[in-house]
Amino acid sequence: MPVIDLREVSLWRRTQEEFHYDLKRFVFNLLRGRHRRPNRRQVLEGVNIAVHAGEKVGIIGPNGSGKTTLLKVICGILAPTRGTVNTFGVIAPLIELAAGFDVELSLVDNIVYYGLLLGIARRRMLQHVERILDFAELGEYRNEPVKTLSSGMTARLGFAIATEFRPDILILDEVLAVGDEAFQRKCRQRIDALWDDHVTILVVSHNLDFIVRSCNRALWIDRGRIVYDGAPYEAVLRYRLKVEEQRLAAEQARTPMVLVAPNHSNSKYAGQVFAYFEGRLHLVVDRNWMNQSGLDDAEAIRFNDEILDRIPLGETIGTLRGITAG
């Protein structure tokens, strides 16, 4: 039986526009019948994942593809719009360690509070306070407020708390290494110990070599969909190919394409010359090049108004020769 089971999970999220942030305007719009539903964007689409106990799953994909959102859905922070999410066992999220601290309170109070956030009972947490302070090497600060710690010390404390208990499922958003050289070694040992253990691990990382080395399964996510699910080596290879492909396509898009609106038609663009590059349409002022390059209007017939309207119009430029040269 899988410990993480996602079936047909889709998630729409409201885009953060300022539209409804104002009660006065909301009521006003409602009264005038101008109320419209806020825009929503699909972040995850038909995701199916079954992870079994002990699997180490790497998640790769470009920025904004939904990797962190997927982790949030698995952690139960976000509820899916459609589909079901089932998890079994204690999940420990290791996302941004200092988030749970109240800087005004003492280290001990913060340790107990942080433990509660992770779902560990107060009494159990109190028994672990010494071990945590020991590991973080912060015993002498126990009754000081957290704000007296340096940022490195704070991260050390966070790491020590979050890894004190062996979870069933460990969620890592980028592998972390905190503190100075010596402490980083300690961190790595702890993470490695979890890795060797029967703990199920989900890790998001842009370090593809790390994914190949440390995981036994990889998910490639693009635009909220799982593109590939399988061996890390295969996933990373396919992902790299795709990235290279996109880079080449983007390069091509930078070389301009010449468009001439038909002279004879009653188009509002009639007779005008455009250069299309970087996704924008540029109006070319100097028409001399046309005669020189022997272009005639017939070539541009396929660019009718409908297409031209759809392309955003950029700024007017002097000559076309300048662009092609650049």
Partner 1 sequence: MKEGVVALFPSSNRASMRRYFELITTIAERNIKARYRGSVLGVFWSLSNPLIMTGIYTLIFGTAFSSYYGNSILNYVLAVFMGLVVVTFFAQSSSQALTSVVANGSLVNKIKIPLSVFPVSIVVANLFQFLVGVLPVIVFVTLFASHNPERVLLLIAPAVSLLLVTVGASLAVSALFVFFRDLPYIYELMVFIIWMTSPIFYPEDIVPPHLRVWVHLNPIAAIANDIRQIAFNPLAPHLHTLALTLSLGGLTLVLGAVLFVVLQPLAMDLL
Interior/surface letters 83-119, b for 16+ CB within 10 angstroms, e for the rest: bebebeeebbbbbebbebbeeeebbbbbbbbbbeebe
Hey, which residues between 133 and 192 contact partner 1 (CB under 8 A)? none
CB 22, min distance to partner 1, A: 5
| Selected binder of partner 1 within 61, 93, 179, 262 (CB under 8 A) | 93
241 contributes a contact to partner 1 by CB under 8 A: no
22 contributes a contact to partner 1 by CB under 8 A: yes
121 contributes a contact to partner 1 by CB under 8 A: yes
Which residue's CB is nearer to partner 1, number 77 or number 298? Answer: 77
Which residue's CB is nearer to partner 1, number 50 or number 95? Answer: 95
| Selected binder of partner 1 within 29, 46, 50, 78 (CB under 8 A) | 78
Measured CA angle at 91 (ends 183, 75), to 5 deg: 110
The residues, any chain, with a CB within 8 Å of residue 287's CB and separated by 6 or more, are 273
298 contributes a contact to partner 1 by CB under 8 A: no
CB 23, min distance to partner 1, A: 4
Which residue's CB is nearer to partner 1, number 3 or number 273? Answer: 3
Hey, which residues between 249 and 278 contact partner 1 (CB under 8 A)? none
| Selected binder of partner 1 within 2, 46, 62, 100 (CB under 8 A) | 100
77 contributes a contact to partner 1 by CB under 8 A: yes
Q: Count of residues binding partner 1 (CB under 8 A)?
A: 36
102 contributes a contact to partner 1 by CB under 8 A: yes
Q: Which stretch binds partner 1 (CB under 8 A): 51-59, 76-84, 219-227, 236-244?
A: 76-84
| Selected binder of partner 1 within 1, 21, 198, 315 (CB under 8 A) | 21
Q: What are phi and psi of 218, to 5 degrees?
A: -135, 145
62 contributes a contact to partner 1 by CB under 8 A: no
| Selected binder of partner 1 within 1, 23, 31, 325 (CB under 8 A) | 23
Which residue's CB is nearer to partner 1, number 78 or number 283? Answer: 78
| Selected binder of partner 1 within 26, 52, 185, 193 (CB under 8 A) | 26
Binding site for partner 1 (CB under 8 A): 13-14, 16, 20-24, 26, 72, 75-80, 82, 84-85, 93, 95-96, 99-100, 102, 104-105, 109, 112-113, 116-119, 121-122
